A and B are shown apart, each in its own frame.
Chain A
Amino acid sequence: MDRTEVRVERVGKAFRDAAALTGIDLHVREGELLALLGPSGSGKTTLLRVIAGLEVPDTGRVFFGRDDVTDRPVQQRGIGFVFQHYALFKHLSVYDNIAYGPRARPRGSRPAEGALRRRIEELLALVQLEGFGKRFPAQLSGGQRQRVALARALATDPRVLLLDEPFGALDAQVRKDLRRWLREIHRETGQTTIFVTHDQDEALELADRVAILNRGRLEQVGTPD
């Protein structure tokens, strides 16, 4: 897996009503698990979406390693994104959901079905959902859905993994389990990971470093201890 650091330089974005960003400078190290912590309306999700390429910043640049990706469309950034409400394709099985990214690649670099099958079996094992390939999202619990969403994001071998309040819609116990589990997955894959949360405990428990946002400004970056 191709890892990279992420640098955000003087990023600003103004909205009419949504949370804005002002002069954000942030450096996420290669292989690091970084939490973006802040109250709602602090701009943390906006910042994550700017890094993903789902929003275009008004000012500033975004770098992945040495590549300036600011003007690169989301499809070409090599990111994996996990949404708060999973955003699984409900007309596709778990298997086809995870296969969506690899199958969307340009014809030349598309994996053969055999190799794809092995890869998906691997991912299903990683997210502890062996044998769930034929099920549909509606047949899964919230926690299972979010694990499928993570497997789907990992299937494209992203350089950077971005998670937007990944456990926000789940109940407390599932949330705790998934936290521990995400920590383990990160240890295994060593993927550069940025996740957004408004839960301080979650940020402190999970992250190598925590970046605190408030009213569109980066207030503090530090290690949990």
Chain B
Amino acid sequence: MSDDDSLLVQRRTSGVATHAAYRVGTEAPGTRLLLIALALGFLGLFIVLPLAVVLTEAFTHGAAAAWTAIREPDTAASIRLTLIVAAIVVPLNLVFGIAAAWAIAKFSFRGKSLLITLIDLPFSVSPVVAGLIFVLVFGGDGAIARWLAAHDLKVLFALPGIVLVTVFVTFPFVARELIPLMQEQGTGDEEAALTLGASGLRTFLTVTLPNIRWALLYGVLLCNARAMGEFGAVAVVSGRIRGLTTTMPLQVEILYNEYPIYPAFAVAALLALLALVTLVIKSFLEWRYSDNLSSRARH
């Protein structure tokens, strides 16, 4: 998350910097060429090349074979599961994220800094550890496990467990995106709406939500990308039951360990495609959102 923030800032400031450099001409043309070549080379080696490999491997036996591989029942089930998990997790974290950001940005209370630290926790804990925590909480011989067994509820090695860890891992995205923005905006607009007679709900819908809409969408997209791509935490709690509890990333790994391996790349290519679509929407929003930011700075 913070990476994306700094990227955004970098993008904006570097735009200004190159502009100035172009005018003043402090850097020799050679230096500039070298830097550009380095950046492009790095990009090619670490991003474009792997993507190209995934795509070529996926289509080694043709598009039809790749398509058949994706429609294989277990694989199709994994795609369905991934979409279901994302469809549950993203709305949940949308609500949690807004609630947490609202509490932190608009009120002062005891333990606020602790709450901010806790929100960051999923980013600092390894996903595998996060998965293990949930195994320990809901599995084994604990009171919760016994209560669940008594009520015939399955959490581990089932959809609820996968959803829970994914919620945990992706929790910070929306909240982190909103907190600085809402802190900067303060409560002035909300107070104005209240003095004009608006109810709390109306104030939220007509004033707060429009003020944060771009940041919110941005956070939701990042949350969605991670929810679909999470491997470690899901691997631990899902039990990897083929066709039942394997999500797309897990299915990729399973297929990769079998022969032939091109189906693994077909699924990987699909996952990459989903990520690319997200990235395109994100870039578009970034553009809109930075416009929004600068218009706010002009006030």
Contact = CB atoms under 8 A, between A and B. Distances in A.
B298 A138 contact: yes
Contacts of A91: 210-211
Contact of B189 (A74, A81, A89, A155): A89
How many chain B residues sit at the interface, stated as a range, is 20 to 34
What is the interface residue range for chain A against chain B?
20 to 34
Interface string A134-150: 00011000000000000
B198 A54 contact: no
A101 B202 CA distance: 11
Tell which of A79, A87, A153 has the most Cβ of chain B within 10 Å: A87
B296 interface: yes
Given A91-B210, A91-B211, A138-B298, A75 B194 contact: yes
Contacts of B196: 100-101, 104, 152-153, 155-156
Nearest to B194: A74
Contacts, number: 63
A80 interface: yes
B191 A101 contact: no
Interface string B94-128: 00000000000000000000000000000000000
Nearest to A106: B197
B195 A79 contact: yes
A138 B295 contact: yes
A54 B203 CA distance: 15
Interface in B245-299: 295-296, 298-299
Given A104-B202, A137-B299, 14 more contacts: A54-B194, A75-B197, A75-B199, A80-B195, A83-B188, A89-B192, A89-B207, A90-B299, A100-B206, A101-B197, A104-B193, A138-B295, A138-B299, A156-B196
